[in-house]
Amino acid sequence: MPPPTPAAVIEAQRNDWNRVAAGWDKWDQFFDRTMAFINHRLVADARIRPGLRVLDLGSGTGYPALLAGEVVGTDGTVVGIDLAESMLAVATRKAKTRGLQQVSFRTGDVTSLPFDSGSIDSIISRFCLMFLPEIPKAAAEIARVLKPGGYVAAAVWSAPLNNPFIRIPIDVINTITPLPPPDPEAPGIFRLARPGDLAGMFKRAGLTPLSDEEFTAEMTYESAEDFFRGLMDIAAPIQNLFAKLTPAQQREAERGIITAVNDYRRPEGVSLPIAVRIVSARKPQ
Ligand SMILES: C[S@@+](CC[C@H](N)C(=O)[O-])C[C@H]1O[C@@H](n2cnc3c(N)ncnc32)[C@H](O)[C@@H]1O
């Protein structure tokens, strides 16, 4: 079967993330706290400071745009772009609740940025770029809209081996119904996991790579059951795999995932390692 066209991938992404927007809203407080360190790292790597004009690519329900908004203050602006209007509705509500009038969100595709060349000081992005069908095009757009000397910092998922919270569900489903071997070039969770991949794309787009680091941490859930509920509420790609199973296979997968995740039980809950690749680059002066 030929690979889906870029337009078909974009449309599927929009549908996927719109479908899970309510789940992201439900789990917002949990992920806000457990993943805040990634936002801080991106804001630091993109050298965001008061007064800057910042872009967040694939903002979803507002991360890391909202933190960037606090840093730029009312003399700056942050615009978050995303395909999924339902995710952005949550982000917009949060910006309003927090009184961040300098933060706004608009629908759009990050491979075609609706901004003038050389108009943006800093670009940040968390867990979006690996889902694009044409990542080099997005890298070229980033290079185009950044001002000379501007920074980009992006977080993507690192290798499956170091991310049991994503690897376990995929492995369990694979034992129930064999999945096609992953195409390393196809858009998906681990598309940019390899060191040098995204940094190389930034370089070929004319940016100067600054850092490419696997950043490890842990995410602690109350229980394995709690982890499973969160997964099914927010992880659109895993939901898509689940949808291919019969109801009996889904129950089997749920049991298998909960059993495997319980291996990570600690006194404070179930603590799963995560590994995020954080890549930054700068546009030459
Ligand atoms: C895993 S979510 C991450 C959301 C947010 N950045 C966060 O870390 O919480 C991925 C987001 O990327 C968005 N996305 C995927 N492809 C995109 C594209 N081509 N243009 C804009 N947004 C895209 C999805 O709609 C989704 O909201």
Any atom of ligand 1 within 6 Å of the Cβ of 109: yes
Structure tokens belonging to residue 132: 């694009």
Report which of 107, 202, 201 is spatially closest to residue 146, judged by C-alpha positions: 202
What pLDDT shows up at residue 155?
98
The residue nearest atom 7 of ligand 1, judged by CA position, is: 63
Tokens of 246: 């019969």
| Residue 18, ligand 1, Cβ within 6 A | no
What's the pLDDT score for residue 30?
92
Q: Is the CB of 111 under 6 A from ligand 1?
A: yes
Q: Other C-beta atoms within 10 Å of 221: how many?
A: 22
CATH topology of domain 6-159+184-217+275-282: Rossmann fold (3.40.50)
Q: How far is CA 281 from CA 201, 210, 216, in A?
A: 10, 5, 20
At residue 223, the pLDDT reads: 96
Q: 62: CA distance to ligand 1 center in Å?
A: 10
Residue 30: CB within 6 Å of ligand 1? no
- Sign of the Cα torsion 22, 28, 30, 32 reads positive
Give the integer Cα–Cα distance in Å for 237 and 64: 21
Distance 117 CA to ligand 1 centre (A): 23
Q: Which residues of the chain have pLDDT under 70?
A: none
- Is ligand 1 within 6 A of the CB of residue 62? no
Q: Is the CB of 132 under 6 A from ligand 1?
A: yes
- Confidence (pLDDT) at 139: 98
How does pLDDT run across 152-194, given as a tens digit for each residue? 999 999 999 999 999 999 999 999 998 888 788 899 999 999 9
**What pLDDT is recorded for position 257?**
97
Ligand 1 atom 1 nearest Cα = 127
The pLDDT value given to residue 83: 98
Domain boundaries, the chain: 6-159+184-217+275-282
Q: Whose CA is nearest to atom 8 of ligand 1?
A: 126
For ligand 1, atom 14: residue with the closest CA:
58
What integer best gives the mean pLDDT of the chain?
Answer: 96
Give the separation between CA 72 and CA 275, rounded to whole angstroms: 28
pLDDT number for residue 1: 74
The three state secondary structure string of 181-195 is CCCCCCCCCCCCCCC
